Amino acid sequence: MSLKDNRILVVGGSSGIGFGVAQAALDRGARVTIASRSAQKVEGACERLGGSVEGVSLDTGDAAALEAFFDERPEWHHIYCSAASTKVAAVKELPLEDAQASFDSKFWGAYRLARVAKIADGGSLTFTSGFLSQRPKSGAAIQGAINAGLEGLTRGLALEFAPVRVNCISPGLVKTEMYESLEGDGRRTMFDNAAERLPVGQVGLPEHIAIQALALMDNPYMTGSTVFVEGGGLLI
């Protein structure tokens, strides 16, 4: 099993977990395309990744643009999706339009992508959920519900799309740019406290998720699975 010369599309690949997956795939000799809504972020990510990576501006909220993108290109060997823009707050505090927009971005964005994606037989589509689907947190019910929906979608599509394989990675706390809006000391304290609680003694990094993402691409005996990569967070 090898990813060398495989055509891999990483949707949400300009930052965070997606960037880590793109970097790991390039290191394995794959031909990688990263996609994101922001052309500026895509350009910056391509510069950091170097090599022969291709970058495209693509919005999972635009069904017509997604369909046109896939119509213009040959089948992919693997697609990884981590694109999402969500807001989290208690149900009675989060404006209804923000809750709906969060679902539209992460769940329906993945659905729209899956609906038009062209993937070679035996290839794979992998989503990114989050362990709040299994370990709810007060004040984050919307996030847990979105993640649970994605995991359910994964199982259904694994049957519908076979022999294309469909899987999902459910991360715990991962240190990404998403937390850069927090003040320096606050961010460091949050990560330090989380690391102390976790059995592994550290919070996740994008490269930790990338290890599992590439394993799911590699393994022809994996489909319909949600794999939790959360440092033992489900145990505490």
Phi (first) and psi of residue 73, to 5 degrees: -130, 155
Number of folded domains in the chain? 1
pLDDT score recorded for residue 86: 94
Which pLDDT band, with edges at 50, 70 and 90, does 189 fall under?
Answer: confident
Is residue 92 predicted with pLDDT exceeding 90?
A: yes
pLDDT score recorded for residue 2: 85
Domain span including residue 218: 7-235
Q: Does some domain include residue 54? A: yes
Is residue 124 within 8 A of residue 164, CB to CB? The reply is: yes
DSSP letter assigned to residue 128: E
Spell 163-196 as b/e; 16+ CB within 10 A means b: ebbbbbbbbbbbbbeeeeeeeeeeeeeebeebbe
Q: Does some domain include residue 67? A: yes
Beta pairing class for 31-36 and 119-128: unpaired
Is residue 82 within 8 A of residue 125, CB to CB? The reply is: no
Is residue 178 predicted with pLDDT exceeding 80?
A: no
Q: Does some domain include residue 2? A: no
Q: Does some domain include residue 1? A: no
- Supply the CATH number for residue 186's domain: 3.40.50.720
Is residue 182 predicted with pLDDT exceeding 90?
A: no
pLDDT score recorded for residue 139: 94
Summarised one tens digit per residue, pLDDT across range 95-154 is: 999 999 999 999 999 999 999 999 999 999 999 999 999 999 999 999 999 999 999 999
Is residue 181 predicted with pLDDT exceeding 90?
A: no
- pTM score, two decimals? 0.94
Summarised one tens digit per residue, pLDDT across range 198-208 is: 999 999 999 99
Q: Does some domain include residue 199? A: yes
Q: Which of 31, 22, 23 is nearest to 2 (CA)?
A: 31
Cβ-proximal residues to 16 (8 Å cutoff; 6+ apart), any chain = 82, 174, 176, 177, 178, 206
pLDDT score recorded for residue 188: 83
Q: Does some domain include residue 35? A: yes
Q: CA-CA distances (angstroms) from residue 126 to 4, 96, 137, 175?
A: 18, 29, 25, 20
Q: Does some domain include residue 205? A: yes
Overall average pLDDT of the 176-186 stretch = 70
Q: Does some domain include residue 24? A: yes
Amino acid at 77: H
